[in-house]
Structure 1
Amino acid sequence: MSDSEQPKLPRRRGKPIEVWVNEEEKALITERAVSVGLSRSGFLRALGLNHPIRSKADSDAVMDLMRINGDLGRLGGLLKLWLSERPGAGAPVADVRTVLREIQDQQQLLRTTASKVGR
C-alpha cells in the first residue's frame, strides 16, 4: 500500500496557543470559521500556517455550477435531437422556443452563480 492509499490517522493534539482577543474579535473569528466549515482552532491554525482556506460557499457554488451545466447539456442535446432527427419536420415551434428560453434562463443562472464564486 502506497503513502497515498494509507488511511489518514487523526491529527495528534499538541499544545494550545492562547490568543487574547476581545468579545467582538472572538465573535468575528467564530463567524468566519463557521462560514468556511472549520472550528475556531482549525481556522486560526490554517491562517497561522498559511494554508489555503476554501469557503464552504465556494464548494456549494461549484456544485450549483456543475448542476446547471448538466441541465444545459441535457437541454442542448434535446434541441439537437429535435432538429437532427426530423429535419424540416421537427418539434413544434412553440416547443423549440420553450427549450431555447430554458437554455437562456439556465445560461443566465450560470453567469449569476459564476459571478458569486468570483467574488
Structure 2
Amino acid sequence: MGDKKKTRKGSPPIKVYCLPDERDLIEANARAAGMSLSAFLLAVGQGYRITGIVDFEQVREMARINGDLGRLGGLLKLWLTNDVRTAKFGQSTIRALLHRIESSQNELSQIMKSVVRPRADP
C-alpha cells in the first residue's frame, strides 16, 4: 500500500464554543476579509494578521464603471464599422465618447488603487 497524503479534512477538527454574537462577529470578519470561516480561523489561529478588506461598495462602483466602459466601447465599435445607427455621429460626438472612456478609466483606476486585497501576512 502506498503512503496516503495527509489532508486537513482527514485530520481532527478544533472546536470553538462561542456565543451567537461572537460567531456573528467572526463570520462578518471572515466575509470582510474575503475568506471562508474555516480559512479565516486557520489563518488567524496560526498567527497571521489579516491586513485588509475589500470595500464591497467600491467593488460595486467598479462593476458599474466597467459596464459603462463596455457600453461606450460598443458605441465606438458601431461607429468604426460605419453602422447606420451611428451615421449622425460627428467628430465632436466621437471626441466626447473618447473623453468619457478616458474619464471612466481614470475613475476606475482611482478606485482600484484604494481597494486593498485581503491577505494574511505571516
Q: Relative CO higher for 1 or 2, CA cutoff 8 Å, sep ≥ 6?
A: 2
TM-score (norm 1): 0.48
Higher fraction of helix: 1
TM-score (norm 2): 0.47
